[in-house]
Chain A
Amino acid sequence: MNAIEVTGLRKSFGRTRALDGLDLTVRTGEVHAFLGPNGAGKTTTIRILLGLLRKDGGEAVLLGGDPWRDATALHARLAYVPGDVTLWPSLTGGEIIDLLARLRGPRSAVDTKRRQALIERFDLDPAKKARAYSKGNRQKVALVAALASDAELLLLDEPTAGLDPLMEAAFRECVNEERHDGRTILLSSHILSEAEALSDRVTIIRDGRAVETGTLAGMRHLTRNFVDAELAAPVSLDGVPGVHDLDVQGARLRCQVDHAALNDVLSRLTAAGVVSLTCRPPTLEELFLRHYSAERTTAGARS
C-alpha cells in the first residue's frame, strides 16, 4: 500500500489556482523528494495532506485515510516540519519538543534517550527561550521534535532551509537512518542536490501539476549525457543523430548525447583513439534547469 496517494488534486485561493490536477504517489518506506520552484504548490499540497486546507477537487489518501475527515487519527501516525517554523516566543526549545510529542497523542511517549541524542547531534540549547533562537535553531527544534517521534510518516517542508552545512550533513545522516528503520518520508525541497543525495523517487511539480515523477535513474533515461573527450586525432560528429551542443577545439571535444545515441558516439570516439574521456549523467540541477527552460521557451513560442 502507498503512504500517500494523490490524484487530480485541485485547490484555488480566490482567483489564484494553487493546485491544478496534481498527482503524487509516495510508497511506504521510501524517501520521496517533492521538488519544485517557489510557489509551485508544494506547501499547499502538504497542508491539504495535513487537513489544514480543504481540497476543491481530486482525491487524496494519506496512510489509507481521508486527510480531512480522519485528520486527528492520522496525525497520531505522522510528524510534520513546517517550511516556516514559528514557535511560541515564551517557551523554551526543550519545552516545545516535549509539548509537540505529547500533543501527538498519549501513546507516543517521549523517548528521552533519542531526544537527548538528537539535541546533541543538532547542537541545540534546549533551555533557551524560542524568541532568542535564530531561524536555523527554530528549524532544529521542529526537526528534533519530528525525528524524535515514532511516527511512521514524516512530512518535511523544506527542512534544511536555514541550516548550516554541518547541520545539513547531520540531517542527511538522520534521514538515511530513518529510511533504514522503514519510515516513509516526503521531503519537499527546491535544493536539488539534497533530493539527489537522499531520495529514492522524485516528483517534480510546477504551477500546481506534477511534470515528472519516478526514480532519478528513470529520469536520466529520458535525458542526455555529457561527454568530454580528448582524442588522438580530430573526429567529426557533425550531423550524427542524437548529438547536441557540439564544441570541438582541435583534439578536444565536448557535447551532449541522447541516451540512445551513446553507443554509436562512443564507438566513433574510440575509433579515433581516446586519450581521456569523461561521460557523466546530468545532475538534478541540469535536469531541472533544462526542464524549466524548455517549458518556458515553448510557452513563450506559443504566446
Chain B
Amino acid sequence: MTRAGLADTGLAGTGQLTRLALRRDKIALVATVYVIVALVAGTAYTFKKLYPTAAGRAALAATGEGNPALRFLYGRLYGDSLGSLTTWRYGIWAGIFAALAAIFVVIRHTRTDEEAGRLELVGSTVVGRAAALAAGLLTAAAPSVAIALLLWVALPFTGLPAAGSAALALGIGACGLAFTGIAAVAAQLSSTARGARGIALGVLGVAFVLRGVGDAAGAGGPSWLSWASPLAWIQLARPFTAERWWVLALPLAIFALGVCLAFLLASRRDLGAGLLPDRPGRPAASRLLSGPFGLAWRLQWGMLAGWAAGYAFTFAASGAAAKGVGQLFGTSTALQREFTRLGGQAAIVNAYLAALMLLAGLAGAAYATSAVLRLRTEETEGRAEPVLATATGRVRWALSHIVVAVAGTVLLLAVAGVATGLGYGLRAGSAGAEVTRMLGAAFAQLPASLALAAVAVLIFGLRPRAAVAGAWTAIGLVVAIALFGQVLQVSHWVLDISPFTQTPRLPGGTVTAAPLLWLCLAALAFGVTGLSGLRRRDIG
C-alpha cells in the first residue's frame, strides 16, 4: 500500500516504527528465540540419548502420567514416543516463555513508550494513530513466528516425525501469538505499563492454573478445565499422536480477536489515557506517608495486593484439586507400578502438594526480586535523588524497599499455605490440620526465596547496571534447574547451585535445619555486601 493509502487507515509509519522497535530489541529478541528453540530441540535430542530403549521411555511416560504433581507442572502425556515426551516436558513451558516474551515486547513498545512520552514525539511526525500499536504487535509477533518456523525446521533433524514436529512448533508459536493479542488489549486497558503487564501476566497465571488443575485432575475430575487455557492447547493438539490440527485454530482466533479489540479500544481513547480515568487524590499526605518506609509501602502495596490475589486463587484452586489427583486413569500395569513406587494414594497427594509449594517458593522469589529491583527503577528514573538529598541515608532508603520485599514474600507464602490447606482440607474434611501443615510447608520455602532476593540486592549494590538482567537471569536459572534439572540428569554440582535444591520437599519429606540455616546466612551475607557496596558507589 502507498503511504497516502496507509494514512487513511492510521497506519502510516508502521514500517519505520517496526524497524526501530526491532533494532532496539534485537539482542533480546534473538536471545529469546534462541533459548526457546534450543531448549525444545536440544531436549528432543537429549531425550534420545538418555532414554534410548522403548522400555526406558515407557517408564518415564508412566512416571509422567501417573504423578499428578508432574501433570500439574508439565501437562498431560499422550503416548510414549520421543516426540510425545518432548511435547509433555517442554510444550507448555516453551509456550509460557513465548507468551512472556510476547507480553513484555508488546507492552514495552506500546504503553511503556506512551507513558514515557516517547509516543508523543513520534506521534507528532508523519505517523498514523494506530501505527505504534501495529508496530508493537508486529515486533512481538516476530519471535513467535520465528520460534514456530525454526522449530518446524529443526525438530525433524533430531529424528522426530515431520507432522508432529509441525504441530508442536506451530502450537508453541501460536501460543505466543495468542498472548501477543491479550497483551495488546491489556496495554489499552491500563494507563501504566506496570498495570498493563500486571493484567497480561495475570491472564497467563490464570491460564497456567486452569490447565494445571485440569491436567492434574484424576479420573472423573474436572479435566475439561484444560480446554479453557491457551497453554494446554499445545498438548491438546496431540503432536506426535494423531495430530488434531483444528486445535491450532483456537490460539490464532484469540490472537485475531485480541488484535481487533486492541485497535478498537485504541481508536476510542486519548493518547496517554487508559479506560479508567485518573481521579484526584489527597491534597496533603496522610500520616502513613511520612518516611522512606511509608513511601516504599505506598509504591509497592498495589503490586503486592495483585500478587496476593493471584496466590490466593492459584493455591485455593490447585489445593482443592489435590483431593482427586490420586485417581488412576485406566489400569495399565506400568501406571499401577508407578502408583506403588510413589507410595500409594497419600504419598501421591503429598508429592502433588509439595510441587505446589515449590511453585509458591519460585514465584515468591520472583516477587521478592521484582520488589527489590524497584530500587533500581527509582534510581534510574531519578526518583531516588530527591529522597537521598534529604536526611534519609542510602542504607535506610534501600532497606525500606527490602523490608517490603521480605514482608511481602512472607505474606505470599502464608497465603499459599493457607489457601492450599483450605482448598484441600475443606474437601478432605480436615481443614484445620491441613492449614497448619501446608503453612509449615510454605514457610520452608522462605529461605530459598529470600536468598534470590538477596542476590538482587548484591548485584544492585555492586554492579547496578547489571542488576535487572543479573537478578532475572538468576531467577531463570533457578526455575530451569527446578523444572528441568532432574529429567535431563544434570550433574549434582549444577543442581546444588539452586537454593530450592536445598529446600526440603514438604509435605511428605523430612526436614533438616542445617541447609535452611545456611540459606539464611547466605542471604544475610549477600544483603550486607550489597548494602555496603551501595554505600560506596555513585547514585544515578
Contacts and interface: CB of A to CB of B under 8 A. Distances in A.
Contact of A80 (B278, B284, B291, B386): B386
Given A72-B392, A103-B291, A105-B390, A88 B282 contact: no
A43 to B, nearest CB: 10
Nearest to A74: B391
B389 interface: yes
Given A72-B393, A82-B386, A103-B391, A129 B291 contact: no
B306 to A, nearest CB: 14
B285 A102 contact: yes
Contacts of B429: none
Interface stretch (A91-99, A163-171, A196-204, A209-217): A91-99
A53 B388 CA distance: 11
Contacts of B298: 90-91
Interface in A78-122: 78, 80, 82, 84-92, 94-100, 102-105
Contacts of B286: 95
Contacts of A97: 285
A54 B390 contact: no
Contact of B389 (A73, A75, A84, A87): A75
B278 A132 contact: yes
Contacts of B191: 131
Contacts of B386: 80, 82, 85, 100, 142
By DSSP majority rule, is chain B's interface helix, strand, loop, or mixed?
loop
B533 interface: no
Contacts of B120: none
Given A95-B282, A95-B284, A53 B387 contact: no
A53 B383 contact: no
Contacts of B387: 103
Nearest to A108: B391
Contacts of A89: 192
Nearest to A155: B389
Given A86-B382, A99-B295, A73 B282 contact: no
A127 interface: yes
A82 B540 CA distance: 13
Contacts of B291: 102-103
A126 interface: yes
Contacts of B383: 86-88
Interface in B275-291: 278, 280-286, 289-291
Contacts of A17: none
Nearest to B302: A90
A66 B510 CA distance: 55
Interface centre among B294, B385, B391, B539 (most CB of A within 10 A): B391
Given A72-B392, A75-B390, A103-B387, A94 B382 contact: no
Contacts of A90: 298-299, 302
Interface string A15-51: 0000000000000000000000000000000010011
Nearest to A104: B390
A133 to B, nearest CB: 11
Given A98-B289, A129-B278, A76 B391 contact: yes
Interface in B360-415: 381-383, 385-393
Contacts of A131: 115, 191-192, 278
Contacts of A84: 382
A71 interface: yes
A97 B511 CA distance: 51
**Which bracket fits the contact residues of B?**
35 or more
Contact of A127 (B281, B537, B539, B540): B281
B278 A53 contact: no
A175 B298 CA distance: 33
A291 interface: no
A105 B292 CA distance: 11
A99 B382 contact: no
Nearest to A46: B389
A119 B27 CA distance: 47
A74 B386 CA distance: 14
A90 to B, nearest CB: 7
Interface string B181-200: 00000000001100000000
A41 to B, nearest CB: 15
B8 interface: no
Interface centre among A47, A102, A105, A128 (most CB of B within 10 A): A102
Contact of B540 (A47, A102, A103, A132): A47
Contacts of A54: 536-538
Contacts of B295: 88, 99, 103
A52 interface: yes
Nearest to A76: B391
A103 B388 CA distance: 9
B282 A127 contact: yes
Contacts of A51: 388
Given A52-B388, A72-B391, A75-B389, A99 B540 contact: no
Given A94-B282, A128-B280, A129-B278, A80 B290 contact: no
Contact of B284 (A82, A126, A129): A126
A178 B162 CA distance: 80
Contacts of A91: 281, 289, 298
Given A73-B391, A88-B383, A52 B280 contact: no
B392 A103 contact: yes
A179 B310 CA distance: 55
A105 B280 CA distance: 28
Contacts of B381: 86
A95 B285 contact: yes
Interface of A: 47, 50-54, 71-73, 75-76, 78, 80, 82, 84-92, 94-100, 102-105, 126-129, 131-132, 142, 155
Given A76-B391, A103-B392, A127-B280, 16 more contacts: A51-B388, A82-B385, A84-B382, A88-B383, A90-B299, A94-B284, A94-B285, A95-B281, A96-B285, A99-B294, A100-B390, A103-B291, A103-B391, A104-B391, A127-B282, A129-B280
19 contacts: A50-B388, A52-B539, A71-B393, A72-B393, A75-B392, A78-B389, A86-B382, A87-B383, A92-B280, A92-B283, A98-B284, A100-B390, A102-B290, A103-B291, A103-B392, A104-B390, A127-B282, A131-B191, A132-B278
Closest 9 CB pairs of A and B: A98-B285, A103-B390, A92-B281, A80-B389, A94-B283, A76-B391, A105-B391, A95-B285, A86-B382
